[in-house]
Amino acid sequence: MLRKALAAAALVGCMVAGSGQSVLAQEYQLNVNTALTQEDPIYKGLEAFRDKVKARTEGKVEIRLFPSSQLGKDEDVLEQARAGANVAVLVDPGRLAVFVNDIGVLGGPYLADGFDQYRKITTSDLFTGWADDLNKTAGLKILSFNWWQGARHLVTQNAVTKPADLAGVRMRTPGAPVWIETIKAMGATPTPMGWTEVYPALQQNAIDAAEAQDTAVYGAKLYEVAKHLTKTGHIGLLTGLVTSGQWYDSLPADLQKIVSEEALAAGDVASKGTEDAISRVDAEMEKAGMSIDEIDVAPFKQATAGVYDKLGYGDLKKKVDAVLSGN
């Protein structure tokens, strides 16, 4: 794994070296990977991040964007970052829980209500401790963790109103334990796979369903291969911009400050864009023939309540609840 990561890092270095830029510019270039498409509001936030950093650093730090996982799967890019490559990835907490288990609680079911509450958690002292641990143990630096991609809902072929309706349904989900246990508790059979594989998998009946946020469903055109989007809101997807601790430490202090500040500011811009886009993309998907279904989510909340204790997050959830209540 390390050999592959070092090879990937070398490849990124070759890409940069081939651009004809100076050695100094190469040191201060950051290649940002995201599974999302260029049409997604989150990507617009990444563009703002790129432009603001360029302006404030007077071109000393160049941000290059790679949508649709052009640099590889999130896990692979994280390994490149751990090896010291000048890469970053917009990633969910479940994938970071591999390195610092506590971060995984952010992917738990019905943890908080909307962007403001999730942002409160990830700008708290509790989260800062997790971020410090991630840097020390895995060499990964969180630039900001306020990139709200929205609440995740069910994407199915048949109408769903209760957990029993998901019995036997093969549902795509990311491979992190908290996601898998949540989908299992909701009644479906979790089926991990990469996001870019979901459309053909639904089209070819390799899976029966998926779960994702509105803008991602729209961006991936899943409304062409699935009939229902059911508003369960079972997981709030707040993601983080994560880079190499080694690369970040190579920056002068003034440039570190700018990169971190603009990552936080851009995350807020992207999150506002996401919230503004939801009603628009829902209307577009309905126009294309997908049914957008509002249901009573109480049965799903009840079904997933035990996930925290099952994964050893029971006490940690109490700490998160204290952050949200201001205690």
- Please answer whether residues 154 and 123 qualify as being in contact, where contact means their C-beta atoms are separated by less than 8 angstroms: no
Query: What count of other Cβ atoms lies within 10 Å of the Cβ of residue 299?
Result: 17
Segment 245-257, tens digit of pLDDT: 999 999 999 999 9
Bridging pattern class, strands 62-66 and 170-173: unpaired
pLDDT band at 47 (very low <50, low <70, confident <90, very high): very high
pLDDT band at 26 (very low <50, low <70, confident <90, very high): very low
Cα 76 from Cα 314, distance rounded (Å):
30
Cα 121 from Cα 170, distance rounded (Å):
32
Ramachandran angles phi, psi of 299, nearest 5°: -65, -30
Ramachandran angles phi, psi of 62, nearest 5°: -110, 125
184 pLDDT more than 70: yes
Pick the CATH number of 2-93+115-149+238-276 from 3.50.50.60, 3.30.470.10, 2.30.110.10, 3.40.190.170: 3.40.190.170
pTM, two decimal places: 0.83
pLDDT higher at 319 or 9: 319
Question: Where do the structural domains in the chain lie, given as residue ranges?
Answer: 2-93+115-149+238-276, 153-235+280-320
Cα 290 from Cα 173, distance rounded (Å):
20
- What is the overall mean pLDDT for the chain? 91
Topology classification of domain 153-235+280-320: D-Maltodextrin-Binding Protein; domain 2 (3.40.190)
The first and second tokens of residue 250, run together, are 């190579």
CA proximity to 115, closest of 270, 327, 232: 270
Judge if 2-93+115-149+238-276 and 153-235+280-320 fold alike in CATH terms: yes
Taking each helix axis as running N to C, give the angle between helix 125-138 and helix 114-122, from 0 to 180 degrees, rounded to the nearest 10.
Answer: 60
Name 175's Cβ contacts closer than 8 Å, sequence gap at least 6.
94, 192
Supply the pLDDT for residue 20: 39
